[in-house]
Amino acid sequence: MNTIMKAGKKKPVIRFCIGLFFILAAAAFCALFFRLRGSISVKPLQSAGFSESVYYLQKDPLWAGDRLGDSEFTMASSGCLTSCLTGVIKLTGIIIPELEAVNPGSLNRFFATHHVYDGAGNIQWKQLEAAIGRTVVTKSASEVTAGGLEMLLSQNICPIVRVRVKGLGSFHYVLITKSDGRQFWCMDPLNSEKQPVPLSQFGSRIYAVRYILPEGRDGDI
């Protein structure tokens, strides 16, 4: 009799555990869906891009503590996009007469002088265009394909892409410099080893793309 009663008491506990498992599984799925929404998975089909590499780190001691314009944010905390733009300038040979040197610290000061940042340290693309005299194209993930990225690379255009750290973490920007037919390879401003990292390190998913058109072009590729 006692054995039967004990077995009866266990059933609600088992049902509760099963129900809790499904609730947690559903919550995890919803969290994953929320994190990945607005992104697209991209994998290259051919080789394209730059043979040389560039490495600019947002946490380099030379400029890590520099603020982004008048904001409270610094290069170390939020300078990934400025670092990527430095890579674009270096790789594509964009000439900016007022730029002291091609490095993130110098570019950050140039941006601050030309009011490229807003009050929160975000880059304002129209102000950037006016400052460097080039057209900037901004696209959401829904407007991008792997083939489109490869076409940009084949025309010596470096796409800057918004990703999530380790695929599911905070938003971050990296610079795609080449593809080898299997992977897109990027300059990651947070990679202290100063080596290209595969886009797969960010889940091979992108959330937005930014790129600077060659001189004299004001329409999209």
Name the amino acid, one letter, at 139: K
- Which of 145, 181, 140, 178 minimizes the C-alpha distance to 162? 140
Task: Report d(CA 209, CA 159) in Å as an integer.
Answer: 6
Residue 45 makes CB contacts below 8 A (sequence gap 6+) with 146, 147, 150, 181
Phi, psi of 146 (to 5 degrees): -60, -40
* Residue 120 pLDDT: 97
* Residue 37 pLDDT: 72
* Residue 41 pLDDT: 96
DSSP code string of 179-214? EESS-EEEE-TT-TT-S-EEGGGGTTEESEEEEEPP
Residue 74 in tokens: 């610094």
- Mean pLDDT per 10-residue section of the chain, whose length is 221 residues: 56 58 44 61 94 95 98 98 98 94 98 98 98 97 96 96 93 98 97 94 97 81 61
* 120: DSSP letter: T
Residue 142 makes CB contacts below 8 A (sequence gap 6+) with 38, 40
Phi, psi of 140 (to 5 degrees): -85, 165
Q: What is the pTM of this model?
A: 0.83
